Structure 1
Amino acid sequence: MKLECGFDQFIPLKTLNDARSGYLVDDTCVLGVEVSITWETSTGQGENLLMIKDAISQKHVWKVDNFSKLDKEFYDSKVFIAGNQKWKIRLYPDGWGSGLGSFVSLFLVSANEDPRTKVFAGYALRVKDQLQGNNDVGNAKYWFNTSGQERGWARFTSHADFRNPNKGYLVKDTCVLEAEVTVHGVVNDL
């Protein structure tokens, strides 16, 4: 349970000190609070929401060697931590869904074990340009609510662009993928 709640910037100091505003009279102000208590009618249905005010972006880079020899439907990066949550990058070398056969598909995957945890995250997935730094990037925000849930793009980069030597995405049969994840909120069931 949250034991305290409030605002870190309730009223501008300039407004508070302005005598015309009526908040400060004879160097005195009156503060108050109104508390309402409601009782839950069904037990076990509560959630605890934690919003992260100054969320920090964290990056994970995955170097994929011998791309031409990849023969599985998809590959996952090792698990990495961003915003105290577990994530993976998922790569479909020959595409998935609407991208099957002509695109590289790229997704961010929740790797959290607790099915009661929901995570609101902003993320960017990138195929890095290893020559000029002109990365192919996709950005999104999403509520991840189960382990293994993936969000991203079935048509991230076309095979033609991906294999074009001037684009720099595939150099010496190696590509570099990056996920940048910012966790903005976490919900846990009570």
Structure 2
Amino acid sequence: MATARRSRCGVQSIMKEQEVKVLTSVKFSWTINNFSKLSRDQLYSDTFFTGPYPWRIGIYPKRSFRKLGTFVDVHLYPGPPDDVNFPVGGRYANVKLSLVNQLETKSTEVEERENVELNQGDKDNAACSLFIDLTKIHGFLVNDTCIIVAEVSVNDLGVLDHNHPRFFLDFKGLCKIEKEYAEVLEESCSKHPSLIESHRKRKRSQRFTECSFTALGKLLLFLETKKVKDMMSYDACKELQDLWEEVEIRFDDLSWLEPHVQSALTCLEKAAKVEKLKVDVADLEEKSKTLKAEAIAIDADLEKTKKELAMAEEDFDLDDELGYGIP
């Protein structure tokens, strides 16, 4: 699978040193289906971002407290526990966590906190929490579904360091994109302007557009950085397949990209074929050695038998007269 390598020096239009304000607030909704059938003690939402800051919601569906009873325990965490890129110090957030009452909106349970300091040491602690008595959850659980909403605003994000791994750039006036995806997106959109035009015509939300171009950026970066040998595993092929399926539903025309994706996805199949042929070759070589040994043994038996035949023929003349004993 041939992969074109390109020089980066020409892609500069969106990478110039300039002040770029990142998105400072977000509203994230998490719908949990089949709530009564949840088997895990704790469940987490997908990670969402306010600028470079990761967040996620955690819930204990049935948490027991001695003498108090059983509660639905909901928390908003500033950053996944394993996020090594979580920015440190000097930033504050206003947060709001809501467990939606689907029958009476006015009865929605809400917890708000202001000026929550975001520090590396605090990222495992909840920025905001809700506790609902499980016996009083009727309006919050409709058709075995509950809805949790988190709203986060980070104060005075200002300008981020361009070298920061989560530095965000304004991409074509459509959305904010992480720096690592900006270059491959810039080049692809320059060659295929329909990528931009289709999203502008659709008039999708900024969040949808951001997710679309982020997914495309991840896919393009995957294809650019991986080698054929990297695709010799099921996990790599599965990752690429998942990225492709997500991108396919977000963009209208990806005919220019599909052959490259499909070619990469066939690597595992081709590798499996190569491995099978290697096994076949090894088996045939072993069989050939066995047959050659048998042939050598047969040749030896043949030579021995020929010699015995020659000796027997010397003592046995077909032209001798039989006679009857009287001279």
TM, length-normalised to structure 2: 0.35
Q: 1:100 to 1:71 in 2, by over 3 A?
A: farther
Match of residue 177 from structure 1: 148
Superposed structure 1 runs of 4+ greater than 2 Å apart: 95-101, 112-116, 146-153
Q: Deviations over 1:46-81 (max 9, x none)?
A: xxxxxx9xx853210000011111122211100011
Matches for 1:8-157 after TM superposition, within 5 Å: 56-95=24-63, 101-111=69-79, 112-114=83-85, 117-118=88-89, 119-134=91-106, 135-141=108-114, 142-146=116-120, 147-153=123-129, 156-157=131-132
Q: 1:116 to 1:85 in 2, by over 3 A?
A: closer
Please state whether the residue corresponding to 1:59 is helix, strand or coil: strand
CA shift for structure 1 position 101: 4.8
Are the aligned partners of 2:98 and 2:149 in contact in 1 as well (CA < 8 Å)? yes
Are the aligned partners of 2:64 and 2:70 in contact in 1 as well (CA < 8 Å)? no
Unaligned runs of 5+ in 2: 1-20, 161-327
Between structures 1 and 2, the one with greater helix share: 2
Cα distance between partner residues in 1 of 2:77 and 2:118:
9
- Among 120, 134, 141, the alignment partner of 1:159 is 134
Between structures 1 and 2, the one with greater strand share: 1
Are the aligned partners of 1:94 and 1:100 in contact in 2 as well (CA < 8 Å)? no
Compare CA radii of gyration and give the structure with the larger one: 2
Are the aligned partners of 1:102 and 1:159 in contact in 2 as well (CA < 8 Å)? yes
TM, length-normalised to structure 1: 0.58
Are the aligned partners of 2:96 and 2:128 in contact in 1 as well (CA < 8 Å)? no
CA shift for structure 1 position 149: 3.1
Cα distance between partner residues in 1 of 2:58 and 2:68:
15
Q: Deviations over 1:129-178 (max 9, x none)?
A: 1123121100113213234332333x52111221x2xxx21001100000
RMSD (CA atoms): 3.0
Match of residue 3 from structure 1: none
Are the aligned partners of 2:59 and 2:72 in contact in 1 as well (CA < 8 Å)? yes
Unaligned runs of 5+ in 1: 1-51
Cα distance between partner residues in 1 of 2:99 and 2:41:
18
CA shift for structure 1 position 121: 1.1
Higher relative contact order (CA 8 A, sep 6+): 1
